[in-house]
């Protein structure tokens, strides 16, 4: 498959775990199924993932930064956030602020989002959610 896919923090964490033990093997298998695809992540997902490391030069963090393009926040992402927030608040199904930013970034760039947190992200009707 050859497409661009945005990754949620849960995917990054499970990918890191797969290099240490078998608990994140589903993330590694997803990468293999989507061989040839380009992977990116919101700067918010990068921040969440990076928060788990004492040093930004940690090999696992460097590896993610080398292989995943980082998508910045811009005006269009901010306005997409607004739309999602208002729809979810009206429906009484708000999700966490960081997840809203991650979803808004994926939507702004027209990308599906790979995540283990499919229940919350699936509340956003415009977002294509990929499970692993």
pLDDT in tens, 68-93: 999 999 999 999 999 999 999 999 99
Tens-digit pLDDT profile for residues 33-63 = 999 999 999 999 999 999 999 999 999 999 9
Report d(CA 129, CA 104) in Å as an integer: 13
Question: What is the mean predicted confidence (pLDDT) over 90-109?
Answer: 98
Question: What is the mean predicted confidence (pLDDT) over 3-8?
Answer: 97
Query: Which numeric CATH code is attached to 4-130?
Result: 3.40.50.1010
**Model-level pTM?**
0.93
SS3 113: strand
Q: Break the chain into its structural domains and give their ranges.
A: 4-130
What's the residue count for the chain?
132
**69-71 and 113-114 strand pairing:** unpaired
């Amino acid at each position: 498959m050859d497409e661009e896919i945005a990754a949620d923090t849960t995917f990054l964490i499970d990918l890191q775990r797969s290099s240490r033990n078998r608990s994140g093997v589903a993330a590694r298998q997803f990468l293999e199924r989507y061989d040839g695809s380009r992977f990116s992540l919101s700067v918010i997902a990068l921040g969440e993932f990076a928060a788990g490391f004492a040093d930004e030069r940690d090999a696992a963090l460097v590896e993610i930064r080398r292989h995943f393009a980082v998508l910045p926040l811009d005006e269009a992402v901010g306005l997409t956030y607004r739309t999602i927030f208002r729809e979810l608040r009206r429906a009484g199904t708000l999700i966490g602020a960081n997840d809203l930013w991650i979803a808004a970034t994926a939507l702004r760039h027209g990308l599906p989002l790979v995540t283990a947190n499919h229940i919350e992200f699936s509340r956003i009707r415009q977002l294509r959610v990929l499970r692993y």
